[in-house]
Amino acid sequence: MTTQMTRASAPRTVTGKTSRPVRGTAADVGRPGFAWAVPATLFFALFAIAPLVMVAVLSFMNWNGLAEPEFVGLDNWKRVFDDPVMIQSIWLTLLLTFLGVALQTPLSILLGVWAAGKQRNRAVLSAIYFVPLLLSSTAVSVLWRALLDPNFGVPAQATWLFGDGNLFGAQSTAIGVLAFVSTWQFTPLHTLIYQGAARAIPEVLYQAAEIDGAGRFRQFFHITLPQLRNSIITSMILMVVGGLTTFETVLILTQGGPGTDTTISAYYMYQKAFKSFDFGAGAAIALVLVVAATIISLIVVRLSGYDKMRGTMEGMS
């Protein structure tokens, strides 16, 4: 529910501001009737707005799923903000999101630009890099949980690197595993975005640069990177929103442990609602997540100038 909301809210702001008519004027194209928007609006209202409103109401109620819910005013909200585990979970969520962006962005830019080239082995290797994206998060997490078993997995074979292999027993290594597995899983998606964008960079730019004597590194930093600007922002928004709503990876790999050391907000919400049957507190945490994800997405959009969608083709043509 929260995922749909936050995912939906970011692009909406964007498209709302970019729908300036490109060809001709509004008069000669003609606006489509409101009827066209009815199915999507209904769907959105039923599966995004309505649950969100219900969650908002529920956050002021005490409900264990059995008895009639009762209004308790701000109780849930007070408890949530007094709860050290909740405060910690917000920091952990932000940390994991930051790690995701910091690890995946450089990797996927390099891979994407490489995959956009014309090398002979490119198609085969790209296909292999693409595989993690085809697996569900659950499958990926189960796979890595088994691979990282301290006695029978990779750590047992590489004790020089992993020591006693107690990766899930300490906060730092458990967070490291979560960041690594997300990176392994989602880098292919972003690679794909960058591959497409890098293919779209006009060849003439590189030809001109070559004539001017620019080497491969200068070409990369002065042509490729600036040309990829909009794609970088797109991919970063996806990473941020994805990072804030990470759930399955934590559910399967660490269950928020050791103790509460990797209990991120989305997982804490699940724990409160479906493990402790405290649906009121779960709903409050869900709303905090929705608001936080929306604000962060808006900030990224504003700061990056994505909402203006400045072209990268100035001076061309």
Partner 1 sequence: MRFSRVLACGVALAAALSLTACGGNGSSAGGGDKIHVLVYGDATNKVEKAIVDKFNKTSEVKVVLDTIPGADYQQKLQTIINTPQAPDIFFNWGGGSIVPFVKADLLLPLDDFIAKDAKLKDAFLPSVFDSAVVDGKAYGVPMRGTQPVMLFHNKKVLADAGVQPPKTWDELLAAVKTLKAKGITPIALGGGDQWPTLMWFEYLYDRIAGPELFNKALSGDKNAWAGEDSKKALSMLRELVDAGAFGTNYDSVKFTDQGSPTLLARGKAAFELMGSWEYSTIQDFDKPFAEKNLGYTAFPTVPGGKGDPANLVGNTNNFYSVLKKTKHPEAAAEFLKLMYSDDFVKQQLAIGNLPTTTNTEQYLDTSANPAYSRYQYDLVKKAPSFQLSWDQAYPQSASTAMHQAVQQFFNGRLDADGFIKAMQALPTE
Binding site for partner 1 (CB under 8 A): 1, 51, 54, 58, 63-69, 145-146, 148-152, 164-169, 255, 257-260, 271, 273-279
User: Of 61 and 223, which CB lies nearer to partner 1 in the complex structure?
Assistant: 61
244 and 95 Cβ atoms separated by less than 8 Å: no
CB 235 → partner 1: shortest distance, Å? 29
User: Of 24 and 259, which CB lies nearer to partner 1 in the complex structure?
Assistant: 259
CB 146 → partner 1: shortest distance, Å? 7
Sign of the torsion formed by the C-alpha atoms of 23, 26, 28 and 32: positive
User: Of 149 and 307, which CB lies nearer to partner 1 in the complex structure?
Assistant: 149
CB 134 → partner 1: shortest distance, Å? 21
User: Of 168 and 194, which CB lies nearer to partner 1 in the complex structure?
Assistant: 168
Q: What are phi and psi of 61, to 5 degrees?
A: -120, 160
CB 137 → partner 1: shortest distance, Å? 14
CB 245 → partner 1: shortest distance, Å? 14
User: Of 169 and 226, which CB lies nearer to partner 1 in the complex structure?
Assistant: 169
User: Of 261 and 293, which CB lies nearer to partner 1 in the complex structure?
Assistant: 261
Q: What are phi and psi of 22, to 5 degrees?
A: -95, -50
CB 42 → partner 1: shortest distance, Å? 17
